[in-house]
Amino acid sequence: MTKIGLYFGSFNPVHIGHIAIAGYMTEFAGLDQVWFVVSPHNPLKKKETLLADHQRLYMVQLALGDNDKMKASDIEFNLPAPSYSIDTLTYLTEKYPKNIFCLIMGEDNLFTLHRWKNVNELVKNYSFYVYPRPNSSKPDSPILDKILSVADIHKVKAPMMDISGTFIRNGIKSGKNMSYFLAPAVWKYIDEMHFYEK
């Protein structure tokens, strides 16, 4: 069976931090593949800050190239919006019964699990591969403590990547050369399309 880590995100835009984390998961954490699940609308984020779904998906495809351990997934484009992880995982598990799916997330997201839809079902059926994030701290929440106590959590010692889409978007808006933080093909596309300049 193929063990696949689902890396959910808006990828607005996808950057070298995302790729490095995914690479660590396939090379050091025991995952066979990482699927970048491009979210059309994260319920916890404002939609108006996002580029169009197909543009963000295309940038992930550009960033990954022909890497056979990573792939861009538009699975959530065809599911009811807003998209929730449990619904996507249930769908994929039914569609690909020979694969084992798990979630990849930053430690900061791990500490929001008590706000997730059907979280008890999520932790019962899926494992979590968690990478460190700067300044992430666990809130004082008995509900969260209970969830974490039964969850199958694999904390991986991936390099800490303090790069964010917000940082890149703000840099471009300020006229900075942000090519150092993006795959060359992604930077070329953003530059040609004049994304994030306003």
Which is nearest to 5 in space by CA: 104, 123, 99?
Answer: 104
2-163 is a CATH 3.40.1350.10 domain: no
Residue 82: pLDDT band (50, 70, 90) is confident
Looking at residue 1, what is its pLDDT?
93
Q: What digits encode the pLDDT tens for the residues 4-53?
A: 999 999 999 999 999 999 999 999 999 999 999 999 866 566 666 789 99
3-state SS, residue 184 = helix
The residues spanned by each domain of the chain are 2-163
Looking at residue 134, what is its pLDDT?
86
Residue 135: pLDDT band (50, 70, 90) is confident
Distance between CA 11 and CA 9 in Å, rounded? 5
CB atoms within 10 A of CB 77: 14
Residue 156: pLDDT band (50, 70, 90) is very high
Backbone angles phi, psi at 154, to 5 degrees: -110, 105
CB atoms within 10 A of CB 97: 9
Q: What digits encode the pLDDT tens for the residues 174-189?
A: 999 999 999 999 999 9
177-182-183 Cα angle (round to 5): 125
Looking at residue 46, what is its pLDDT?
66
pLDDT at 60 exceeding the cut of 90: yes
Task: Indicate the pTM of the whole model.
Answer: 0.94
Residue located via tokens 């790729």: 19
Looking at residue 162, what is its pLDDT?
87
Distance between CA 153 and CA 144 in Å, rounded? 13
